């Protein structure tokens, strides 16, 4: 018999965004608490270790535009949903841990 267990997290369980650089031989990590004012307090445009582009969208001439406000919109949306007066509790389904698959 095969059974499957679904896992959910509550929005209050979401504490931070974590960036991990995927450039070979870097792997730097940066964790930003959800309360952060991302575009002002933390630049995640580039990897702080190796300089690889993260949220910066390069325009090809050495400049570009940051997408840090995307993080602020996600954080603000979570906050609004948590404060929403509707009678529901919202959870997010997450992928099962491969270790749990038997």
Q: Give residues in contact with Zn ion (CB under 5 A).
A: 21, 23, 26, 28, 47, 49-50, 52
Is 4 within 8 Å of 10 (Cβ atoms)?
no
Q: Phi first, then psi: give them for residue 23, nearest 5 degrees.
A: -70, 140
DSSP tag of 39: H
When the beta carbons of 26 and 78 are compared against Zn ion, the nearer one is 26
Q: How far apart are CA 30 and CA 97, in angstroms?
A: 23
When the beta carbons of 50 and 90 are compared against Zn ion, the nearer one is 50
When the beta carbons of 28 and 81 are compared against Zn ion, the nearer one is 28
Q: How far is the CB of 49 from Zn ion (least distance, A)?
A: 5
Q: How far is the CB of 30 from Zn ion (least distance, A)?
A: 10
For residue 48, the tally of other CB atoms under 10 A from its CB is 15
Q: How far is the CB of 63 from Zn ion (least distance, A)?
A: 20
Q: How far apart are CA 99 and CA 26, in angstroms?
A: 26
């Amino acid at each position: 018999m095969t059974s499957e267990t679904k896992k959910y997290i509550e929005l209050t369980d979401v504490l931070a965004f974590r960036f991990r650089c995927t450039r070979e031989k870097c792997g730097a990590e940066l964790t930003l608490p959800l309360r952060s004012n991302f575009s002002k307090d933390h630049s995640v445009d580039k990897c702080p270790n190796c300089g690889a582009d993260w949220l910066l969208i390069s325009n090809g001439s050495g400049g570009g535009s940051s997408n840090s406000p995307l993080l602020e919109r996600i954080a603000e949306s979570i906050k609004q949903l948590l404060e929403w007066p509707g009678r529901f509790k919202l959870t997010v389904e997450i992928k099962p841990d491969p270790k749990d698959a038997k």
